[in-house]
Amino acid sequence: MEIGIEVYVTQSCGIGGRLRQLPEDFRVEEVLTNGSKAQVESSAIQQIEGRGRYLVCVLVKRNCDTLIAIHTIAKKLDVDEERIEIAGIKDARALTAQHVSIGRMLPDQVAQLKLNNIRLCPLHFSNGKIHSNLLFGNDFSIIVRAINHASSEIVGRMEGVRKELLGLGGCPNFFGHQRFGTTRPITHLVGKHMLHGEWEKAAVTFLTEPSPYEHPESRRARELLWKTQNYEEALHYFPFRLIYERQMLSHLAKQSRDYIGTFHRLPKKLRQLFIQAYQSYLFNKFLSQRIQRGLPLKKARGREFKLKIDGEEYVALPLIGYNQSVSTGEQGEIEKRTLEKEDVTPQNFKISMMPEISSSGGLRTALTPLIGLKIEKPIKDEFNPTRKMVQVSFTLKKGSYATTILREFMKPQNPIRAGF
């Protein structure tokens, strides 16, 4: 499904290959502005000194969605999900480590948790909770497998892309596939319906829109619900892994026309994500068309929006919201035409029926700097014996997606099949 990314910025050939054959192939470790790094190898500290309103922990998860991990932890600890705070959402199909804070919690309570693919490691007490302003970025260590080229060809192609990206001063700051749903990229479609007040369409899209890449049992359940529209019956066959879908179905089974109410059954972070995903889709469209027109990605032209990164000014594009206008000049024309085609205005982002998910908008740089890019020598892929694999590592600032960098190196024909 379209997510608004329509162009590559590099001309060099890609290496192909596949991501995430194993969750460990995609390793993400969060870094805070104070230099604290959440490490996959973290273990619980035996004795935690000091006091504070919040217990700060490292959450290590494998092959698990961040919001579902928080839901699971909250349920096990018997606390409200709102008491668990994070700095950012991490990849689901990956091995990730991030900071979390839990209000009014003791280390012993956390240490007793026994969960599949989820570990909580207490670090210290704090009077402040974890939030996005504390996030610097993420360290990535990623293995690309099943590459069907000779080692020398892989090295040559990757070096070509690397030189082009360094020449640009970074990589296009697209929102990656996981922003929209890795195997079922529909969150932006749900968000667009919510913006237009089409709550039934939003709910039906979330519940029934199938994907050929999701689990067959989930796909069959969605297709059957689309045919029957029987929410009560659907509770008998919707898989338990579809936690949020089942929460919505439980509400609709009792009040079949209360579509706004059924969204209130979902965590606020998830409801906000629908709106943010549509903002992200629009941003991707804006940036794609800027690249297609050959407009500069780093230096602003005229009175275009700008943001500073480490003292350097970068051109910025709008994340459309009720307080965020379009750009000036040629870029502004691109954005106006896109919004007209989408039949959406900035004021649509003020959602009267659910004001807590309204978005005022903001700015995002067109480029993201690549920090510490390192490419290892290709070696034999033990899981695909006739193919090669290569490891890539780098750091990105918060809000940027590793898959947008890997997309330039791999140039996949089918991003979802390639593990994006």
Q: Where are the beta strands (DSSP E) in 265-311?
A: 306-309
In this structure, are strands 95-103 and 54-62 parallel, antiparallel, or unpaired?
A: antiparallel
Rounded Cα–Cα distance for residues 160 and 420 (Å)? 22
Query: Which 3 state secondary structure label does DSSP give 270?
Result: helix
Half-sphere exposure of 140 (CA within 13 A, CB side): 31
Sign of the four-CA dihedral 85, 87, 88, 89: negative
Catalytically annotated residue among 25, 65, 80, 91: 91
Closest CA to 88 of 399, 420, 402: 399
What are the structure tokens assigned to 377, written together?
């020598």
In this structure, are strands 26-32 and 371-375 parallel, antiparallel, or unpaired?
A: unpaired
> Is 80 considered catalytic here?
no
Query: Which 3 state secondary structure label does DSSP give 122?
Result: strand
Question: What is the phi/psi pair of residue 56, to 5°?
Answer: -95, 130
Contact between 52 and 125 under an 8 Å Cβ cutoff? The reply is yes
Q: Which of the residues are catalytic?
A: 91
